[in-house]
Amino acid sequence: MTNQNFKARLLHKVTLRVVDGPFGTQLKVEDYKDEGVPVIRVSNVRAGEVSEDKLVKISKEKHKQLRRSKVLPNDVLLTKAGAILGYSAVFPEHLKEGNITSHLVTITCSPEILPHYLKYIFHSSIGQKQIYRWGNKSTRPELNTQEVKKIIIPVLPLEQQKKIINIYHKAINEKKKKENETLNLLKSIDEYLLKELGITLPKKPLNNIKNRMFKTGWQKVSGNRFDPKRYSKQSENLIAGIQNSPQRKVFLKSLVIHSVAGDWGLDINETVNAKLFNKCLVIRATEFDNDYNLNIENSRAKYRLISKIKFKKLDIKPDDLLLEKSGGSPDQPVGRIAILEKELLDNNTIAYSNFIHKFRVNTDEVLPEFLFCFLKTIHNIKLTDVMQSQTNGIRNLIMREYWNQTIILPNKTKQKEIADTVYKMRAEAKQTEFEAQQGFEQTKKEIEKLILE
């Protein structure tokens, strides 16, 4: 493929037929069916293809009423609003027809442009820069039909479009392969740690009426919260899996020598006496990385003013542990854990929000790195799910139950061996993930250069 072969001409709005999704919410929970016509939501296109594992469906009768939101095979779907602006996918042929929600538009290509090529253009910097140029007209970016039509598409001859699609799909497949390697490495961390500590997890029972019914003793619930999840057979078996380990066991609270709640502080634009406050990078629940540790992105980092009196009480030091005590989501229990590494503290004045609790442990008894690894696995196997309450959609960790949980505590030599191995496995997973993204981005740049030169 020479540069000359990839000379492109620019096609404007005349190449695309764009149809907005319906305004407002026209579907209710009772409209969703087990069988019928699929409804494509933003969550179904984020991966760059229509994800079918969480498709909702509506009846054919309801589908006929929603003519304006109809989508057909090879239509290109584009998200058009807010934080989900600029995702795209091609509606697959085997689904035959479907509907879109109000945060999507459908685009039907003219014969001179292939749908998967157009999707690629939307994913590339060529398309993304234009999408955000037209969409960034307020604090909540949003495209309308006419603005989508303003996006300029560099169009190659069809054969060359096919070559671009093949190169792109090959890069996508390589990226997915490395991402699967990353997932397998991360999954193996919990398997390794549990095996080393002699913990056997119960098999997850079938989700049926029989398995959801259980009995528990009155003494267990007397004086405690009446939460069926805490006393279910699955929860009891999960707790028993920890208790049955042959290793030494202690309560978490016996290891803690210092703990303090966080503070959200004041906005950095507040008029205050500068001598009484520190400007701090405040760690929130959003900075907790499910796979690794903390993920501090410069573009999203939040700085606040923390009073020097409160900052002194926080008493932040390397190897302190941060616990997410409020937040969570329907699919994710609260209780994620992070460890404060020296490099982060050397480069920033750190504080943490009121949704976070910090604690420090007795290093004569336990290595902070080992406890971080152990508590991260405890969260991953969803044991923290039985240590929380939920009010108004926010999950709250019941701190008394968290402090009273059982910690498997081998000797410090074994602790170090486990922590070192886990850290090494996690670093390998992160490197594989980085290589996957780096290789994919490099291929995208090479394709864009071929198209535009």
Q: Which pairing describes strands 98-100 and 37-40: parallel, antiparallel, or unpaired?
A: parallel
Query: Is pLDDT at 1 greater than 50 in this prediction?
Result: no
Residues 278-290: what's their mean pLDDT?
Answer: 91
Query: Is pLDDT at 23 greater than 50 in this prediction?
Result: no
Residues 144-172: what's their mean pLDDT?
Answer: 87
pLDDT of residue 428: 95
pLDDT of residue 14: 36
194-217 residue pLDDT tens: 999 999 887 776 565 666 666 666
Helix or strand holding residue 40 (H, E) = strand 37-40
Tell me the two tokens of residue 126: 């060529």
Beta bridge partners of 78: 88, 105
Q: Are 151 and 118 in contact (CB under 8 A)?
A: no
From the list 386, 381, 380, 378, the residue with the least C-alpha distance to 406 is 378
pLDDT of residue 213: 64
Phi, psi of 129 (to 5 degrees): -65, -40
Query: Is pLDDT at 86 greater than 90 in this prediction?
Result: no
- Kindly state the DSSP code that residue 94 receives in the 8-state scheme: G
pLDDT of residue 263: 92
Q: What is the separation, in whole angstroms, between the first and last Cα of the chain?
A: 13
Q: pLDDT grade, residue 411 (50/70/90)?
A: very high
Cα 234 → chain centroid: 26
Sign of the torsion angle spanned by Cα atoms 320, 286, 303, 347: positive
Query: Is pLDDT at 13 greater than 60 in this prediction?
Result: no
Query: Is pLDDT at 233 greater than 80 in this prediction?
Result: no
Q: pLDDT grade, residue 24 (50/70/90)?
A: very low
Q: Are 295 and 289 in contact (CB under 8 A)?
A: yes
